[in-house]
Structure 1
């Protein structure tokens, strides 16, 4: 780290005066939401708002939010009338924030240090050219807070030349530097960046949604990560990202990757940077298209053929079951008709008996 950045970190105000918003998008998060809220409320930053955007939850999330709002005036609670999708809710909480600085906190993540907000906000206060300040990120699983893996984002360390560091947000596949998305932002530049998700054949996809956000945000200033600070995120099998990895076929991931590489190329071409730097970024994004996929086309064709075979088997099974359903419907109609005939015969017999008496 150079002497300038060292001085800026050490001289950063411990208690910044700028309002900071911690935005918590949540859907059916009753299991871990209280833990996330407790970690936000434990921050030592005096000028803090905690904004919850409830994505029309159907579990006990609303009750938890209202209870925490009653207990602490720093909490604001908004409930969407309908589910906006994951990316839509991330957008919603950002739009409703008031802070000069902003960070997202997933409803199942935690801020492991009480000075997380104040330290990062202090760095932004003293480094006006920085639009996003992240830190070392640790992953944990379930209720065990011991880190399973640690991401020290050296590629975007403060002392690294920004022209070189910016390239990290245009590479494919991206390095661990995409974890900087969990950092603290200047909210106004972030509002200029689309935070919309992607779809694939009508299916919402959150996989790799960090890429277009960070590459576009790099147009407005530096993105750095402080190695001596940290926060944690919970890794679990049922997260939206892991579901995408499990459910999307190899071929689908191939086409999504091509679309993302195209997005990075377009972003590089439209950045407001000197021509020589823009050309370097364009060359990098063009090179992305030569990485991996072309050699894997036979694998993708085989994957598609396997899907066709599986679809054929499923189609045959469906037709067989439909035939069984039709046969059962016909048998039920015959049984119904026979029951009606027997009921009529019984009624006639009873009437004859009554007349005989």
Structure 2
């Protein structure tokens, strides 16, 4: 007979991973905070500090180091908190696989995925978990998000949840996604969902990488309702060297339009023609805004590098 523990060990061995356990609980925690990390040394400590400062205490933190070659391992070796479990991949796997591994190693009823350069406010987990605890019919809860640059300086405040604040049906959320031409639900750090629904809907899919989390959100709201909490409880980093920044604007737009087309042609959602037309127009507008935001982040980073270089030049003896 294979126990759950044996199955988990076998899964890790087959995937070529090494697990460093945290506290061995007889009862699984209510919430799992899952952090997929790759070459994350620059911001990982800030992310960990925000996660471990939560007022909600019945949680675990699952970190999967995707075979990083920078200082990520050193940071993780200095984590001494029995709520934390660290898993190290023996080889680098695709980003979508690392996201799924982080969540599938979790044990909590509720799950939140936090990229290794994002942060959450101290009461973020408590606020979202309370919504899921109070209503079994809710599959996904999201909060507003600040957009910050490489150095944590604010780019745009309180983003997300346009038209979907409060309790909404999946139909309302999907119509808003199509109509907005963007992601009104928010990035991964904004959401919290039930582990059972994640498993039932198949987890993250990597066919369209740019709208990957939006694809997950749209499948989760097939399982239940959505609640948008009108508070800014997370920060999403617009990194100048992030995957999104390195994806061309044309590719981002093409993937967004393809994803929207799939929602439109899904008979479950019955998207009206007016939403389809407005959504296509908005897709181009939102792509331009997104490109400008990443350009601003890159410009700030370039100015900081130049300023740092000038300071070092002045410090050299003549």
- TM-score normalised to structure 2 length: 0.71
Q: Could you tell me whether the CA contact under 8 Å between 2:65 and 2:87 is conserved in 1?
A: yes
Provide the residue aligned with 1:332 in structure 2: none
Task: For residue 240 of structure 2, give the secondary structure of its aligned residue in structure 1.
Answer: coil
Provide the residue aligned with 2:260 in structure 1: 261
Question: 1:82 pairs with 70, 80, 91, which one?
Answer: 91
Task: For residue 205 of structure 2, give the secondary structure of its aligned residue in structure 1.
Answer: coil
Q: Could you tell me whether the CA contact under 8 Å between 2:179 and 2:279 is conserved in 1?
A: no
2:20 counterpart of 1:28: no
Q: Could you tell me whether the CA contact under 8 Å between 1:32 and 1:108 is conserved in 2?
A: yes
Shift of 1:263: 2.7
Provide the residue aligned with 2:118 in structure 1: 109
Question: 1:168 pairs with 167, 176, 179, which one?
Answer: 176
Unaligned runs of 5+ in 1: 1-16, 199-204, 272-277, 296-357
Task: Write out per-residue CA displacement over residues 301-329 of structure 1, whole angstroms, 9 at most, x where no aligned residue.
Answer: xxxxxxxxxxxxxxxxxxxxxxxxxxxxx
Map 1:1-357 to 2 at 5 A: 19-68=30-79, 71-111=80-120, 113-146=121-154, 148-160=156-168, 163-171=171-179, 173-179=181-187, 182-193=190-201, 194-198=203-207, 206-245=209-248, 250=250, 252=251, 255-266=254-265, 268-269=266-267, 271=268, 278=269, 280-281=270-271, 283=272, 287=276, 291=280
Q: Could you tell me whether the CA contact under 8 Å between 2:150 and 2:238 is conserved in 1?
A: yes
Distance 2:274 2:39 in 1: 38
Shift of 1:155: 1.8
Shift of 1:77: 0.4
Q: Could you tell me whether the CA contact under 8 Å between 1:116 and 1:231 is conserved in 2?
A: yes
Cα 1:169–1:192 shift into 2, 3 Å: farther
Distance 1:30 1:148 in 2: 24
Task: Write out per-residue CA displacement over residues 168-193 of structure 1, whole angstroms, 9 at most, x where no aligned residue.
Answer: 23446125334476211111101223
Provide the residue aligned with 2:300 in structure 1: none
Shift of 1:152: 4.4
Task: Write out per-residue CA displacement over residues 254-296 of structure 1, whole angstroms, 9 at most, x where no aligned residue.
Answer: 6534532343245x32x4xxxxxx4x33x45993699359x9x
Distance 2:274 2:220 in 1: 17
Cα 1:101–1:191 shift into 2, 3 Å: same
Distance 2:161 2:275 in 1: 25
Distance 1:288 1:217 in 2: 25
Moved over 6 A (4+): none
Provide the residue aligned with 1:14 in structure 2: none
* Structure whose alpha-carbon radius of gyration is higher: 1
Unaligned runs of 5+ in 2: 1-27, 285-318
Q: Could you tell me whether the CA contact under 8 Å between 2:147 and 2:238 is conserved in 1?
A: yes
Provide the residue aligned with 1:344 in structure 2: none
Q: CA RMSD in A?
A: 2.8
- Corresponding residue pairs, total: 255
Shift of 1:141: 1.1
Cα 1:191–1:170 shift into 2, 3 Å: farther
Q: Could you tell me whether the CA contact under 8 Å between 1:66 and 1:77 is conserved in 2?
A: no
- TM-score normalised to structure 1 length: 0.64
Task: For residue 28 of structure 1, give the secondary structure of its aligned residue in structure 2.
Answer: coil
Shift of 1:43: 0.6
Task: Write out per-residue CA displacement over residues 24-81 of structure 1, whole angstroms, 9 at most, x where no aligned residue.
Answer: 000010111111111111111121100001111111111211221xx11100000112
Q: Could you tell me whether the CA contact under 8 Å between 1:55 and 1:89 is conserved in 2?
A: yes
Greater helix proportion:
1
